[in-house]
Structure 1
Amino acid sequence: MTNNRPIGFIDSGVGGLTVVKEAIKQLPNESILYLGDTARCPYGPRPAEQVIAYTWQMTRFLLEKNIKMLVIACNTATAVALEEIKEKLAIPVIGVILPGSRAAVKASKNQRIGVIGTNGTIKSDSYKRALHGKAPHASVVSLACPKFVPIVESKQYHSSVAKKIVAETLRPLKNKRLDTVILGCTHYPLLRPLIQNELGAHIQLIDSGAETVGEVSTLLDYFSIAATSQDDPHPQHAFFTTGSPKIFDEIANDWLDLDTISSIHTDLGGF
C-alpha cells in the first residue's frame, strides 16, 4: 500500500532532527527517511542558486527511495527552493516558514514578533512576508545569527562558549518590546534553553519545525496517505548524512534520546 511509503526530511545538517523528533512523537505510525547535508553545512551564507541546487540533489536522492511526502526541514532551503520544488513534484512538499509564522501570529499578544535565522533566511525576508500576510500591522524584527549553526553542528550546544555566543548575538533584540520570537532555523531548538534564558521567560519561542509537523499530519489525512498501525506495525526510520556519520549519530542519539541511530554516509556529488 502507498500509505506504507516513508516521509522524506531534508536539511542542511542536523537541524532537521528537531522536526523529526516532533514527527516521531506526533506521527508514530510513519516511517521516516532523513538526509542531512552536513558536509556542505551551513547553507545560510551560500548564494540562493547554490542552495537551490543542493536542495534538488537532496530531493532527488529521497525520491529514489520512493517517499510519499517531502518536508524541507531547513528554513534557508524553504526560503529559496520550496516553491520551485513544490511546483515540479507530484507528491506533497512542505516547508517550515508558513507554519512557524502562523503559530507566531496566534501566540503574540502585542504583534511585536522577532525572527532569528541564518543570513540566507533573514536576507530573503520570507518570514516577514509570511507574517505580514497573516497580520499586516505586525511589527517584525529580524536578526541573523550566523554563529548558531556551527555551534550545533560541532556539538557544542551545551558549552559555555555557546552561552557566550548566544548572549552576544541576541543583544540587539533586547528592549524591542517583543513578546514572541520565531526560531527561524531548525538547528536553533538545540540552543533553546540558552536562547530562552537570554531573551527572558516572558518571551514565547516558536519552534518553526515543530509547528510544521502539525501541517504534515493534516496533509497526510487530506491526501489519504497517513499510515496506520494496521498498515505497518513496525515503522522504519533511516538516516543519511553527507558528512561524518559518527558526529551525526552522536547528535542524533542525544537529541532524539535514542542510542540506536546508525546513519549511512552518502555522496550527493556536486561538491
Structure 2
Amino acid sequence: MQRAIAILDSGVGGLTVAKEVMRQLPQEEIIYFGDNARAPYGPRAADEVMEFTEQIVGYLLQFQPKMIVIACNTATAIALQRIRSQVDIPVVGVIHPGARAAIKKTKNGCVGVIGTENTIRSGAYQQALQSISPTIQVVSLACPKLVPLVENRMFRSEEARQVVAESLRPLANSPIDCLILGCTHYPFLAPALSEVVGPRVSLISSADETAREISAILYHRGQLAQSGKLPVHRFFCSGNPGVFQAIAQEWLGEQIRVSPVMWQMTRLSAE
C-alpha cells in the first residue's frame, strides 16, 4: 500500500510546498490540511500554535502517512521538535531548508528574512543560518499584514502591492542580496515583493529545498512511491472551503476537491 505525505499549514501557504512536491515527486500522494479557520498563526501565543499543530497532526495520523511536513514557518519554529518526539515517522519543517537555500544563493553574506511575528521573534532563521555559516549577517523583519492578503485572495491586488511596499520599507537601505520568504504564504506575493526589493535581491522560497529534503529522506528510507499511477491528492481545511478551493486551484493549476473539517464537531484526534 502506498502511503501519503501529509502536509499541514495555518492556511493556504503550505500549498507553495505542496506544489513543489507535486512537481519534484509526481508519483507521491499528498494529504493537505489548511487551518484557515484559525489563520494567521503569526500573532498567536506560542502555546496556541503548539496546541493547533498537535491537533492537526493527530487528525492527519488517521491516514497513516509516511511523513509529516510542517509547511508553516511559525509552526516549524514553535512545534517541530515536540512533534518529532511524539510520532514515529519523519517530520520535516521549512526553516532549515530555507536557510540552506539562502546560503547557496548569497554572494555578500548578508541575508534578509521576512516572516510572521512569531517566526521572527523566535530567531529560528538566524540560528539556522548561523549554525551553517557563523559569519553570515542576518537582517530580520516581521511582516504581519501579508498573510491576510493571501488568505483573503487579494495577493494580486493593488492593495497587496501597497501593503508589501509599506511592510518592506525598513529594508530599503539594507545591503542584503537575498531575501528569505520566511512564511510559506509569501511566494503568492512574489511579483509584488520582487518589484519592491528590486533585481539585486534574490527571493528565496523554502519550497524547492524542502521538496528536495523530502525526496532524499524517502529515498534513504526506501519509501519513494513506485506505483506508476497518477496520485489522488486529498485536501482538508477548517474554514471556508470555497475560498480555500479557489486559491488552491489557482495556485496549483488543477481542479481539486476540498473537504471541510468542522472544529466544533471534532477534537481532531486519531482515535
Class of the TM-score when normalised by the shorter of the 2 chains: over 0.9
Unpaired runs of 5+ residues, structure 1, are none
Match of 2:258 among 263, 266, 271: 263
Separation in structure 1 between the aligned mates of residue 201 and residue 28 of structure 2, nearest angstrom: 33
Distance in 2, Cα, partners of 1:224 & 1:143: 40
1:210 Cα deviation from its structure 2 partner: 2.6
Give 1:124's aligned amino acid: S
Equivalent residue, structure 2, for 1:236: 232
Equivalent residue in structure 1 for 2:164, among 166, 169, 190 = 166
1:56-135 counterparts in 2 under 5 A?
Answer: 56-135=54-133
Q: Which of the numbers 249, 256, 259 marks the counterpart of 1:253?
A: 249
Aligned-residue offset at 1:73? 0.2
The SS at the match of 1:40 is: coil
User: 1:122-178: per-residue Cα shift (whole Å, max 9, x none)?
Assistant: 000000000110111111000000000000000000100000000010011111111
The offset of 1:79, in angstroms, is: 0.1
Relative distance call for 1:40 and 1:171 in structure 2 (3 A) is same
SS at match of 2:256: coil
> What is the alpha-carbon distance in structure 2 between the residues aligned to residue 205 and residue 151 of structure 1?
19
Kept in 1: contact 2:26–2:230 (CA 8 A): no
Judge which range, 29-38 or 232-241, deviates more: 232-241
What is the rounded CA distance, in whole Å, between the counterparts of 2:183 and 2:248 in structure 1? 17
Within 1, Cα distance between the matches of 2:181 and 2:141?
11
Q: How does 1:1-20 map to 2 (within 5 A)?
A: 1=1, 4-20=2-18
For the pair 1:36 / 2:31, whether they are aligned, the reply is: no
TM-score (norm 2): 0.96
* Corresponding residue number in structure 1 for 2:209: 211
CA distance in 1, matches of 2:112, 2:100: 13
Residues 161-212 of structure 1: per-residue CA shift (max 9 Å, x gap): 0000000100111111110110000000000010011000111111012321
TM-score normalised by length of structure 1: 0.96
Alignment of 1:179-190 (within 5 A): 179-190=177-188
For each residue in 1:80-107, what CA deviation from the matched residue of structure 2 results, as whole angstroms up to 9, or x when unmatched?
A: 0001111221000000000000110111
Show structure 2 runs of 5+ residues with no match. none
How far apart, in 2, do the equivalents of 1:210 and 1:56 lie?
A: 25
Query: How far does residue 232 in structure 1 lie from its aligned partner after superposition?
Result: 5.1
Distance 2:14 2:151 in 1: 12
Identity of aligned residues (%): 49
Question: Is the 8 Å Cα contact of residues 18 and 210 (structure 1) preserved in structure 2?
Answer: no
Supply the distance in 2 between the matched residues of 1:268 and 1:76 (Cα, whole angstroms): 21
**CA distance in structure 1 between the partners assigned to 2:63 and 2:92 by the alignment:** 18
